[in-house]
Structure 1
Amino acid sequence: MNAVKLVKKLLINTVLGAVLLAVINFIGLYFNFYIALNIYSALIIGVLGVPGLVLLIFLKFMI
């Protein structure tokens, strides 16, 4: 995999994860559920994409 494809995939994962995180945070306002967007959550979502978001949700329920 060359660098351009890697950056493109990382960018798509980041954008998709950020949009889904915004939707989850918007819906979560009604249920008192919020995942903070900081450097660590952005990196997890950027690298892992949607599974990273699921991981953050799972970790939020565990704590």
Structure 2
Amino acid sequence: MIMGFELSIILAYAFGLILLYILGWILLIPIRLIIKLIWNGVIGGIMLFLVNLVGSVLGIAIVINPITALVAGFLGVPGVVLLLVLQYIL
């Protein structure tokens, strides 16, 4: 009887640890997405600043408004390139 009781406690702890691992793994996926969006936003903002800094000498500038900030923030470097291409086309 004593041996069965200890085994059930060990199985309960093992089940709890497995459940905790699965819950942590499920919660880790959105955190990776948030970190990626923050990273793209920082890189996009730096790129907008650099394009405006270097572009002022060359006559190229991207107006920083909420739309351009969102495009550069979500897409990062490709977003800044997209904004430059759109400005050239339009």
TM over 0.5: yes
Match of 2:53 among 13, 18, 26: 26
% same residue: 37
Match of 2:83 among 31, 56, 63: 56
Counterpart of 2:53 in structure 1: which amino acid?
A: F
What 5-or-longer segments of structure 1 have no aligned partner?
none
Q: Which has the larger radius of gyration?
A: 2
**How far is 1:2 from its partner?**
2.2
Instruction: Give the Cα separation in 2 of the matches to 1:20 and 1:55.
Output: 12
Q: Partner residue of 1:46?
A: 73
SS at match of 1:2: helix
- Which has more helix, going by share of residues? 2
Instruction: Give the Cα separation in 2 of the matches to 1:42 and 1:3.
Output: 22
Counterpart of 2:63 in structure 1: which amino acid?
A: A
Asked which structure has the greater RCO (Cα within 8 Å, sep 6+), the reply is 1
Instruction: State the superposition RMSD in angstroms.
Output: 1.3
Instruction: Give the Cα separation in 2 of the matches to 1:44 and 1:21.
Output: 11
What 5-or-longer segments of structure 2 have no aligned partner?
1-27
Instruction: Give the Cα separation in 2 of the matches to 1:14 and 1:49.
Output: 6
TM-score scaled by structure 2? 0.65
